[in-house]
Chain A
Amino acid sequence: MCEAVYNSAISTILTPAISALRALPGLRLLPLFAALVGLAVSASATDWNGPEQHLARKIVAVTGPGAVALAIENRSSLGKRDFEIIQNGLRSALDGIGMRFVKAEQAAATVTISLSENPTSYVWVADIRQGAGESAVVMVSTPRPEGLTAARDSVPLSLRKALLWSQEDPILDVAVLEEGSSPSRIAVLDPEKVSLHHLQGGGWQQEQVLTIAHSRPWPRDLRGRLIPARDHLLDVYLPGVICSSTAALPLALSCRESDDPWPLIAGTLNGGSLSVFPSAGLATGAATIVPQMKAFFAPQRNFFTGALTPGVGKFTTVPKFYSAALLPRDKYTLWLFAAVDGQTHLVDGVSDQAAKLGWGSDLTSIRTACGAGWQVLSSAAVRPEDDQSEDAVRAYEFPDRDPVAVSAAVDFTGPITALWTEAKGDSAIAIARNRETGSYEAYRLAMACGQ
């Protein structure tokens, strides 16, 4: 009778995690414990009283008050704790309207309550059997809460991620505009607008929304950049469209169709541009001077065409690529391009060396006070054979032309959709789509030395 493949309870998924909590000592499980407690508290916060009373009244309308044999089973994703709460609530509700609970042989009726569910609601079904084969079915439904998901564990990292922003619409880029010990004013780029937020009273307050005007449909896998500017707040680069904000408040955004190249270097690393922020975290105060580099983005696609300006040495064109990173050397700058053919091209101005590094499409570089001073951050799938795998980002250094992993991988809850170096150069913005919630999350990635 029961093949509840689509009704298997989530409690069976949570149980191993709780067992692991019991079995493994140590404070490192505290975050997991806190998440589980939070989940339990959150789940238990649901008020089940209404459907409990409703179902109890429906049952008594069939059986009348008296002695019944009651069984309650869980066929839903409700956890053990909620199941117990509902079980007690139903018994109490039935008791309150004249039901007495006895063994089956003493009962005038047998009532089996199944806590089930469909995609939108919890469905509680009472199968009532009275006398010789008489049976009746009554049921109630109550909406299922959305977004109740288990938290993921985290591990100690040398590459640290800090959540900056989360929203349901795709995030293309986030720029930190002001910060003290932590970001206090940010700009968030999504397909249709730039929204400005500032920190107030411990929470983000929306300051202004600037709509992006565009006449053509955006390409799929839309990409975009927010670049803080010298004489105005910021520039926005989107496929075939470039927007510039005004300098004075309230801000306005002026957009135009343009195939102008996008800067590959933003902020303090670019000697020809403005340092919006001090180079926080660098061992030396001075910013490295790196020649500006721009690349043309295909207006109807998700990649750069390969045309560079001014170019890397003799190369003004490289293969089409998704992303680029630079590594300054003593006498030259080594550029890495994540090409659309899956290869990584190492271009030093004299040679173009293609390598199959097995990296993902997104790479960028940061200048830090750690290790060799420059690290390349690259995305990759956590489970390469699984199309639905989450992504991770890892830091590498290039003592020569071979990458050396210098950090543990930082896991995300879904695919990385953007990885850009921040304007100040020592950290990066990683955008990931959370596979569990479907929302987009923007993180700041920064290296912590000596971990």
Chain B
Amino acid sequence: MKRIVWRWLAVNSLLMLALAARAETRPQYGGTLHVAMRAAPTSLDPADGTQPDSFVRRNLTQLMFETLVTTDNSGRAHGALADSWQASATSQRWQFHLRRGVKFHDATALTPEIAAASLRGANPTWNVSADGESVVIEREMADPEMPAELALARNAIAKRSSDGNPSGTGPFHTVDWQPGKKLTLAAEEGYWRGRPFLDGIEIEMGRSFRDQMTALELGREDLVEIAPEQAHRVSLDGRRLANSAPMELLALLFTRDAQRAEEKSLREALAWSVERGSIRSVLLQGAGQSTAGVLPSWMSGYGFIFSPNADLARARRTREQVRTIPTWTVGYDSGDAVARLLAERVALNGRDAGLTLQPTSTATADLRLVRIPLASADPWIALAGVASAAGLPVPKNEGGSVEDLYAAEQAMLATQRIIPLFHLPVTYAASASLKNWTLRPDGSWNLADAWLRNSKP
């Protein structure tokens, strides 16, 4: 009897072992992570406003630099380089107390003076000063979103040397930087939150989605971007994919304000004519969400109020109020594989409503198909970011209520400068050896905790 029991147990164990062929292991130190990306930034300075905002740029910044405050997945602020803060009753004066013992990669200590100078560089209109062990920010108007604003990558604290190269306090430091081509990073041994598990990261820039995918399949890259419309196909291939929440706004943006009532009617007709549902199904392969609002519903809680459904009859009725129909050129980014198809489809929908639109890849156009990465999971900051990118007045959070937010978004849409089309996620594919890598809903990486299986510790 006992022998039978042992045999059963042995067989059971073997089965269990087979199932547990890839058991959980502790993080392993070592190895170089290879990352590819489409963007080709030419500056690593977080405050360099000449560089277009992108999720990738934000992620690069977070590898080398840190902010005073970070936000969690719910948008709540947590201390980073600042370990506490306080605001005046009017939210105009903010005082951030710096964490002690933090050093820049060049071994100099983080001081309030350096932090204040860094923030002034990123925000020339702010009044920022050092006060003892803290940094004080004073604004002319109430700014209840200050902690969330300081969590933005562009507000990362950088110490700028005379040669212009910024130094950060982040988990990795720069080893080699070929602007727009390649960035090589190494783990910062003395990082105050603990040395990262990876020894280093090599980032190849300016690589097309196709090249990135090929490199992943050949084992040359560990982490690559996936175009949203390709995500479904790639997932069918059994690849490990990670999606952010829909954080990128794809929209039509008119380059100037409507001059007359007729022009406003035509823009309204265009907004009603776009068949977002079918475009999403066919051209975007089901990725993202159709929208007629600036903010995604998961962020605002009310986005469903803006109906994204096309209403061709209404579009035609609105268009018929106008006698002369101009020809609008619709600009798109020629380097964006799906943009031309989207622009052509929008033009086709417009024609069904009696409008005349001409897609073009030239720099000048009456309206452009644009991708705007939402700046933050904080809805006020995200809305302000879109306004800034669209050249519209930046809304101020004065009341703080969701109804105020709705009113601000509605006011932005009422300008008829922007026609929101889709909210798209950011998608990445990772090799099987990359462990404990997470993509937060706002599209940011966490590579300090990532590790590579079978790397030599």
Contact = CB atoms under 8 A, between A and B. Distances in A.
A357 B22 CA distance: 10
A342 B22 CA distance: 9
B26 A322 contact: yes
A244 interface: no
A50 interface: no
B308 interface: yes
A384 B22 contact: yes
B321 to A, nearest CB: 16
A118 interface: yes
Interface stretch (B12-20, B81-89, B229-237, B411-419): B12-20
Given A6-B245, A361-B24, A415-B24, A399 B6 contact: yes
A118 B76 CA distance: 12
Interface stretch (A135-143, A179-187, A247-255): A135-143
A320 interface: yes
Contacts of B297: 4, 6-7, 116
A358 B22 contact: yes
Interface string B411-453: 0000000000000000000000001100000000000110001
Contacts of A139: 302, 402-403, 406
B177 interface: no
Contacts of A122: 301
A118 B10 contact: no
Nearest to A114: B304
A299 B228 CA distance: 43
Contacts of A218: 194
B24 A391 contact: yes
B257 interface: no
Nearest to B298: A6
Contact of A123 (B29, B300, B449): B300
Interface residue range, chain B = 35 or more
A45 interface: no
Contacts of B13: 396, 402-405
Contact of B9 (A3, A114, A406): A406
Contacts of A219: 194-195
B27 interface: yes
Contacts of B449: 220
A302 B29 contact: yes
Contacts of A154: none
A385 B21 CA distance: 9
Interface string A394-414: 101001001111100000000
A322 B381 CA distance: 44
Contacts of A385: 22
A1 B301 contact: no
Nearest to A215: B101
B74 interface: yes
Interface stretch (B51-59, B108-116, B184-192, B212-220): B184-192
A138 to B, nearest CB: 7
A189 B250 CA distance: 49
A416 interface: yes
Contacts of A7: 297-298, 304
Given A118-B299, A119-B377, A141 B24 contact: no
A381 B301 contact: no
Interface in B9-54: 9-10, 12-13, 16-29
B258 to A, nearest CB: 22
Contact of A384 (B23, B195, B457): B23
B193 interface: yes
B92 interface: no
A238 interface: no
A405 B24 contact: no
Contacts of A358: 17-18, 20-23
18 contacts: A1-B309, A4-B304, A5-B289, A116-B301, A118-B299, A118-B300, A119-B377, A120-B76, A125-B304, A140-B403, A220-B27, A220-B448, A222-B194, A300-B189, A303-B457, A322-B26, A361-B26, A402-B13
Given A342-B453, A404-B12, A405-B13, 4 more contacts: A118-B379, A300-B195, A359-B20, A360-B26
